[in-house]
């Protein structure tokens, strides 16, 4: 009988964490009887009754949690006598609270996503970056987007909030005024309507409001990557930045902020993408202008090769299984 692996997921909305669980989940079936306990994430879901039944058997069980509320749920089962290996991933780059640290220390193994996160956590951990489903996130030519008439697209994906750097991107995108056949498409959930109003005001200030599109988060995100020539991640803060890796897998020419999230580990500047200092509008504007004019190579095929070699979801799954099977 195979050992049991349970990934927990309790969150009111779909996030990058959700996608990371869904991406890696199919790769566990050879080694484990695998389930997802919680909501939102898609996979072989397990009910509370079945979870309870499994946890109180003598089977070999690994439970992998991704948030504090999930760790607390599983610690309650452990207090009631359930025996299982508890693995916890810290997805945020910010300094953990005292509660988070206490919960992480209760886990048998802790996983972080990037070196800077590992170094600052204060808990022994193993670094395993997210992987991309390279069979889903693939380059494709001649993909067009509904209601966007411009031929060439610059894409930004992620929550629409101050820390994601969309103000910097809008200010730098004033170069589009000289290139009417280019559009900027920003895809993501808006945290505060007032911030969206601010972004629209910037586009109007630069007379590019007819070239800037705001799209709510969508399950059709692969098509947006495939339709785009350039992808920009202007964030000041990231946990991992899975969207940047996904864009690279789709052959986008990527521009991202240096030393933010996984960007500087993922991208070799001027070899498979471009890096700039967070908040530096002039630097981003210069890169965009040069790429639009063809003065800088796009490097999309090189970006795809980087993901295939180092950042596939298959590789992530193999690394996770090593942790699950370690003593």
**What are phi and psi for residue 13, nearest 5 degrees?**
-140, 165
CATH class of 4-131+313-325: alpha beta
Domain boundaries, the chain: 4-131+313-325, 152-310
Predicted confidence at residue 13, as pLDDT, reads 82
Query: Is the fold of 4-131+313-325 the same as that of 152-310?
Result: yes
- Give the alpha-carbon dihedral of 289, 294, 295, 298, to 10 degrees: 90
Does 283 have pLDDT greater than 90? yes
CB count, 10 Å around CB of 6? 22
Report residue 16's pLDDT band, with 50, 70 and 90 as the boundaries.
confident
Q: What is the pTM of this model?
A: 0.84
Classify each residue of 51-74 as buried b or exposed e, where b means 16 or more C-beta atoms within 10 Å of its C-beta.
Answer: beebbeeeebbbbbbbbbebbebb
DSSP-derived letter for residue 215 is E
Give the Cα separation of 141 and 276 in Å (integer): 28
Report residue 133's pLDDT band, with 50, 70 and 90 as the boundaries.
very high
- Contact between residue 64 and residue 42 where contact means Cβ atoms under 8 Å apart: no
Classify each residue of 284-315 as buried b or exposed e, where b means 16 or more C-beta atoms within 10 Å of its C-beta.
Answer: bbbbbbebbeeebebbbebbbebbeeebbbbb
Q: What is the pLDDT of residues 218-239, one digit of tens each?
A: 989 999 999 999 999 999 988 7
Q: How many residues does the chain have?
A: 327
Enumerate the β-bridge partners of residue 274: 255
Reported as half-sphere exposure (CB side, CA atoms, 13 A), residue 62 has a value of: 23
CATH class of 152-310: alpha beta
């Amino acid at each position: 009988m195979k050992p049991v692996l349970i990934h927990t997921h309790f969150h009111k909305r779909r996030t990058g964490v959700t996608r990371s669980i869904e991406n890696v989940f199919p790769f566990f079936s050879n080694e484990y009887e695998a389930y997802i306990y919680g909501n939102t994430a898609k996979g072989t879901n397990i009910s509370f009754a079945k979870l309870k039944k499994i946890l109180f058997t003598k089977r070999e069980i690994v439970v992998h949690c991704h948030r504090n509320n999930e760790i607390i749920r599983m610690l309650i089962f452990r207090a009631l006598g359930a025996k299982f290996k508890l693995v916890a991933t810290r997805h945020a780059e910010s300094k953990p609270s005292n509660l988070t640290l206490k919960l992480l220390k209760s886990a048998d193994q802790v996983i972080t996503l990037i070196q800077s996160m590992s170094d600052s956590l204060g808990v022994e951990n193993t670094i395993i970056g997210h992987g991309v489903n390279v069979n889903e996130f693939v380059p494709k030519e001649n993909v067009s987007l509904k209601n966007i008439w411009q031929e060439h697209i610059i894409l930004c994906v992620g929550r629409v909030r101050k820390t994601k750097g969309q103000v910097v991107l809008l200010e730098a995108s004033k170069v589009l005024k000289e290139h009417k056949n280019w559009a900027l498409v920003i895809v993501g959930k808006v945290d505060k309507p007032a911030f969206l109003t601010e972004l629209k005001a910037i586009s109007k200030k630069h007379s590019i409001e007819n070239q800037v599109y705001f799209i709510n988060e969508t399950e059709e995100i692969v098509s947006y990557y495939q339709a785009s020539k350039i992808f920009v991640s202007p964030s000041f803060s990231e946990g991992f930045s899975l969207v940047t890796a996904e864009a690279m897998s789709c052959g986008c020419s990527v521009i991202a902020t240096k030393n933010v999230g996984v960007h500087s580990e993922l991208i070799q500047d001027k070899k498979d993408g471009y890096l700039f200092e967070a908040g530096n509008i002039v630097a981003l504007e210069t890169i965009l202008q040069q790429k639009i004019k063809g003065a800088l190579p796009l490097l999309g095929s090189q970006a795809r090769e980087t993901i295939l070699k180092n950042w596939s979801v298959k590789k992530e799954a193999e690394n996770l299984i090593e942790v699950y099977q370690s003593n």
